[in-house]
Structure 1
């Protein structure tokens, strides 16, 4: 199995770093700290760092075609002006108070997908789609809605419910945004942690954060085989995104939560952002439309 070496890019202390996005127009990395209630911006060319503070937990952010950003806060979907920090509500979710939105991404047609995180016992979360300002549900009985990815040809959607330790595939209809025929394509083995956020490369392989597994894994969704690993000196690896000038760098987020004080003492880089140069490229971020 191939093994890559990551470098620590930013020694941040994210409580729950998540949702990295590379904006090729800005040439910036954007990610969120859910528990810290911050959206972070980092420009590698000159090291500039900026942040936007939010009142509620922020779990995902995606760029829109008009230059604004769509974000998922705990209770719903909002539009964010990245320069001023102003936010306006688009739509609230229909969830119990204990549930909050988690990971989200745009599909090839520019719809914003994001699901909720419930509890291990209740598993009453949903996967939502925001299109033209209107919110609809695509899935129910979700435990912890997480990674999303679409194939380059737009015919398959991959999806993770972390509580189930599987990666699912759906047939995807770009015209309608409907998904069908769910099937399991990857089963996480014991000792590898649980699947969290993910990104897809130009060869159709999935790069997945291993929560509790100290790594990013590269997986073949056609065979279920693990092809490569990127060891990370942090137990809870949350997500990753391709970026850089040539889209051949992988940016990786991690978390401090889920560890006690003794465990954190053994992980001085918990919450940091990592980067690794790869021999495969990723796909550009899909932007929200409408």
Structure 2
């Protein structure tokens, strides 16, 4: 590393919900609520947690039981009680009051169950919903340039058109855009890399992929986009899996690192600025901004198969604005 980075403690959980795999924290300022999913619980759920007058002993969330796995959800601009989301095999609307799922477009065949599924996603500045899939069978294999995983990245437009933008993805995960919308950041967890694309905001297209942050180990036989373009990271973070991410107004990337129990903050050049460490939650999953000033960072986590530490599955909170003077941006809403 060219300079030392700050290391600090994530602290105790904010809300002890013990999700199987908590994901996609999403803030709604109108009623000061935080929404997040538990895609692999039985049944799958969307949690709605009130933040106004929050009390750790008495405040409870409202959990929507779902008939299908929803791995990410985003608000709709003109439908205040509805989400767009990625279900197990495609795109769907979800009713916030009832949890009813309206299937929009199935992208994966029924035969793909247990092999492929949708994962993370986000809405861009033009109201288009991006979401990608992961290949469970390829994730059992060593990283290799000879492997051709079947994960994909798609864009679902308000008119219902679907466009494929990336292929050969192991585990499609965090998506986010720079404040000026010139770049899109996209993590492949199992490939252990965050990519940065040039982004055409008007057309909704991506080009010129580079390695933004590289968590691969030297013996990984997977070169990805352009090896050597990413800055070095500390050895103890190597082999961590980059999960969900968001950006702040300065263009810094705030990433949950699966398997290493930390939230990392990188500047726009890929330089590591901060490492925020959880004591007993090794599987942090996704970050998201909240609060009336959008300066509070929440992070979900996982507790799956008896693994995940004492605090696994809980929701964590970082007062990023108070501590570092940074803030995020409200997430865009689907324009349909």
Q: TM-score w.r.t. structure 2 length?
A: 0.81
SS in 1 for 2:18: coil
- The CA RMSD measured in Å over matched residues stands at 1.6
Q: Which residue of 1 aligns with 2:291?
A: 244
Q: Which residue of 1 aligns with 2:210?
A: 183
Aligned residues: 284
| Equivalent of 2:185 in 158, 168, 171 | 158
**1:56-115 alpha-carbon deviations (Å, 9 max, x no partner):** 221000001012210111011111121232221111113533200000110111110010
Q: Which residue of 2 aligns with 1:198?
A: 245
Q: Which residue of 1 aligns with 2:122?
A: 105
* 5+ residue gaps, structure 1: none
Cα separation, 1, equivalents of 2:15 and 2:172? 27
Q: Which residue of 1 aligns with 2:163?
A: 136
| Equivalent of 2:67 in 55, 66, 78 | 55
- Gap change, CA 1:156 and 1:168, over 3 Å in 2: same
Is 1:12 the equivalent of 2:12? no
Cα separation, 1, equivalents of 2:164 and 2:181? 20
- Gap change, CA 1:33 and 1:82, over 3 Å in 2: same
Q: How far 1:148 sits from its partner (Å)?
A: 0.5
Q: Which residue of 1 aligns with 2:47?
A: 40
Q: How far 1:41 sits from its partner (Å)?
A: 0.5
Q: How far 1:48 sits from its partner (Å)?
A: 4.8
The answer on whether the counterparts of 1:209 and 1:238 sit within 8 Å (CA) in structure 2 is yes
Q: How far 1:144 sits from its partner (Å)?
A: 0.1
Q: How far 1:4 sits from its partner (Å)?
A: 5.1
Cα separation, 1, equivalents of 2:27 and 2:12? 18
Q: Which residue of 2 aligns with 1:221?
A: 268
Is 1:78 the equivalent of 2:92? yes
Moved over 4 A (4+): none
* 5+ residue gaps, structure 2: 54-58, 142-147, 216-232
Cα separation, 1, equivalents of 2:210 and 2:66? 37
| Structure whose residues are more often strand by fraction | 1
| Equivalent of 2:83 in 46, 69, 78 | 69
Q: How far 1:7 sits from its partner (Å)?
A: 3.6
Q: How far 1:275 sits from its partner (Å)?
A: 0.5
